[in-house]
Amino acid sequence: ADKIKQAYQFHAEPTRPIAGIQHNFDNNAALIRAKALLRYGEALNARREILRLADRMQSDLLRQRQLTYWLHKNGFHFEAIYILGKARDWNDIDVRFPTPYNRQVAAASQRTGTDATWIYAIMRQESSMNRFAKSNAKAKGLMQLIPSTARRMANDTGLSLSGGGIYYADINTILGAEYLAQMFARYGNIALASAAYNAGPGRVDRWQLRDMDDMPIWVEKIPFNETRRYVKRILEYQHVYAKHLGKKIPTVTERLNGRYQAVDAARRVPVISTESAW
C-alpha cells in the first residue's frame, strides 16, 4: 500500500449480536461458572470452562462467533482472541483487537510519553489482554515483563511490586510503557525499540551493525524468526489501534525510516533512579 500510495484497508466484519443466542449465553452454566471462577482469581479454570464450550461449537461457526462476541463484552478477551484465531476467523477486528484497560493505558501514556497505539499493540501481542499471563521465560502480566526488567522499571518509576504488583494492570502497564520509552530513547526507531522489547537490547545492538540504511531489509534479516514476526505484527497492530482510538499515525514505511516519534519526550515524567535501564 505504501509503495502505490494507497490508504490501508481494513476488511472488518464485526459480529452482529443475535439477542436470543446472547441471552442463552447469559444463562449458560459453563459461562456462569467461568465468571464466578474469574471473580475468585481462578483464571485458568475459567478458561478451561470456556474453551470446552467453544470446542463443542466447532461445527457451528455462527454460534462460535456469537460466543466470542459474548466473551468480548464480558471481559474474556484472551479467550475470544484465541477462539477466533483457532478458527482462522480474522476479520472481527473489534473482538480480535480489544481496548480494555483504557484508563491504565491512558495513564501510562501520559506518564511515560509513549504512544497509546504502541502500548496497545505490545499488550495485544504479548498477552492478548490477559493480565494473569505468565510465559515459560517467566515474563508476567499484560506487558509480559521479566522480573529483572520489572524491578528496574519499578525502581525508575518509584512503583512497588510487592503483593504481586507485577500483575496489577495499573502497575504493569506503566512499567511496560516506561521500558518502551527507554528503548525508544536508546534507538530512536520503533522497529529497533520493539525488537529490543522482545529480544533484548544487547542483541539489537549487535544487529545494528548491518543494513541500517534500509530498515525494511533490516527487519527481514532479523536473525530470530520470533522477533522478526513480532516487529511486523507490532507495526501492523498499531494501525488497527490507531483506527480504534481515532488517531492518525505515519505509514509503516515512515515509521521504519524514523519519521515518527513514538514517545513524546516533553510529556515524560523524569525517572527516579540513576541506575542504567539495561
Residues annotated catalytic, as ranges: 126
Task: At 228, list the grid cell.
Answer: 522478526
Query: Quick check: helix, strand or coil at residue 248?
Result: coil
Q: CA–CA distance from 178 to each of 37, 185, 203, 231 (Å)?
A: 32, 10, 20, 18
Task: At 125, list the grid cell.
Answer: 501481542
* DSSP conformational letter for 83: H
* 177 contacts: CB under 8 Å, gap ≥ 6: 108, 109, 111, 112, 114, 119, 143
The C-alpha cell 464480558 sits at 74
Q: CA–CA distance from 130 to each of 38, 127, 231 (Å)?
A: 12, 5, 20
Query: Quick check: helix, strand or coil at residue 112?
Result: helix
Phi then psi for 114, rounded to 5 degrees? -80, 135
* 216 contacts: CB under 8 Å, gap ≥ 6: 253, 256
* DSSP conformational letter for 168: -
Query: Quick check: helix, strand or coil at residue 26?
Result: helix
Q: CA–CA distance from 106 to each of 38, 120, 145 (Å)?
A: 25, 10, 19
Task: At 86, list the grid cell.
Answer: 483457532
